[in-house]
Structure 1
Amino acid sequence: MPRPRSLTDDQLVVAALAVVDREGLSALTMRTVARELGVATMGLYRYVADRQALEVLVVDHVFRSVDTLTPDGEWQDGVRVLLDRVRVAVARHPAIAPLVLRHRQAAPGSLRLIEAMLSLLTGGGLSGADRVVAQRTLMAHLLGFLQNEHYAALSGAGTIVMSELSPDEYPLLARTAADARSVSPDEEFRRGLDIVLRGLAADQRIRALPDR
């Protein structure tokens, strides 16, 4: 039997993303990717150990597509640019959002992104535990937003249903859901990130004050 043709990581990722974009994340298996590539399923194991390893390749590809160079200026502006680029990269393949959350610490491209963010925070004067909390808080906003945008969007059916609840029983929820229908994903992401950044800057100023 002839040996399977050589495959690159890029070919594996392209095939995996084609399956996910077409059929959803649940369809991502070694068998479906092998079929997409036109090779035997067992032949695929020459290149990746299992589905988890394949998922890490996909997440790494997405993060590596993000330009980590940011314009000179305030550190907050650099963070805005960087996180927005990640959001755009994930939006090209929205079904992989759960994989980003699951494998963000295993993919080398993710580590490269975190290093770039830490560089921005360091340039803004953050260090030690303050830098740890700031970085984790910013990632929490990003990852939470990705889940919201692709699985609980304000434009989705859930918001519509809540906006039509009885105003007598749920006055605040019904009104808030109605207001939410006019908020775009861009506005939701950027205003939320602005709130986080203002909070971090205020905390930094408070911690810089001399003890009384």
Structure 2
Amino acid sequence: MPRPRSLTAHQIAAAALAVIDRDGLASLSMRAVSQELGTSTMGLYRYVRDREELERLVVERVLGEVDTGPPDPGASWRDQVEVMARRMRDTVSAHPEAVPLTVVHRHHSPAVLRWAETVLAVLTAAGIDGERRVIALRALLAYLIGAIQLEHLGPLAGPGTAAITRLPAGDFPHMSATARTARHVDADQEFLAGLRLLLDGLAA
């Protein structure tokens, strides 16, 4: 392939994400991305300092697709927060191999800041402010981060749950029984039910 005259951050991020989606996160390297772009590895270094910068470009490429606009103002604050949480989860889940990167580099993402600003506006309008608002946002972020990681790195339908069902019932009666039930809970049900439990706590 001919070497492009110039590269944009969008092109580089798209190429890196293509490598991750196709070959897994472990395959991400300057060399792999340069091959995806049809340029030399040294040529890529003209635009990107190192792998960490490459990872940040990928994260902003993924998170930049999140709709951070305000949800329907006529909906309840709980429904609005649920919409924002689902937007984040659905966008990140479209690139499961990139999930670890979104966790590590989220602090550098303008998209996450815009998402958080919208959520804070919803909470404020609901009368949740001060320290309670701080804790509410942190709790929502913690839930999202944990739920997305569990869904892709340790899903209920995965081998880990199956292994727990085979634990000796005499030693682990609750774990084995819970795992047997868990195998019938799908990912959407798990995410939304957990989110609603959290919102119940905020509403109390």
The code of the aligned residue for 1:50 comes to D
Which residue of 140, 143, 147 corresponds with 2:142?
140
Name the counterpart of 2:47: 47
Are 1:25 and 2:59 an aligned pair? no
Per-residue CA distance 1:171-195 (angstroms, 9 max, x = gap): 1111000000000100100010001
TM-score, with normalisation over the residues of structure 1? 0.91
Name the counterpart of 2:165: 163
TM-score, with normalisation over the residues of structure 2? 0.94
Per-residue deviation at 1:49?
1.8
Give the total of aligned pairs: 201
Preserved contact between residue 63 and residue 113 of structure 1 (Cα < 8 Å): no
User: For 1:115 and 1:62, how far apart are their aligned partners in 2?
Assistant: 18
Name the counterpart of 1:173: 175
Which residue of 101, 121, 124 corresponds with 1:122?
124
Preserved contact between residue 3 and residue 39 of structure 2 (Cα < 8 Å): no
Name the counterpart of 2:202: 200
Preserved contact between residue 14 and residue 61 of structure 2 (Cα < 8 Å): no
Per-residue deviation at 1:6?
1.0
User: For 1:65 and 1:121, how far apart are their aligned partners in 2?
Assistant: 23
- 1:101-112 map, 5 Å: 101-112=103-114
Preserved contact between residue 57 and residue 107 of structure 1 (Cα < 8 Å): no
User: For 1:186 and 1:74, how far apart are their aligned partners in 2?
Assistant: 21
User: For 2:62 and 2:140, how far apart are their aligned partners in 1?
Assistant: 19
Name the counterpart of 2:72: 71
User: For 1:128 and 1:185, how far apart are their aligned partners in 2?
Assistant: 33
**Cα-Cα RMSD:** 1.4
Per-residue CA distance 1:131-154 (angstroms, 9 max, x = gap): 111000000000000110000000
Name the counterpart of 2:38: 38
User: For 1:160 and 1:71, how far apart are their aligned partners in 2?
Assistant: 41
Name the counterpart of 2:102: 100
Unaligned runs of 5+ in 1: 203-212
User: For 2:171 and 2:76, how far apart are their aligned partners in 1?
Assistant: 46
Per-residue deviation at 1:3?
8.2
Preserved contact between residue 4 and residue 43 of structure 1 (Cα < 8 Å): no
Unaligned runs of 5+ in 2: none
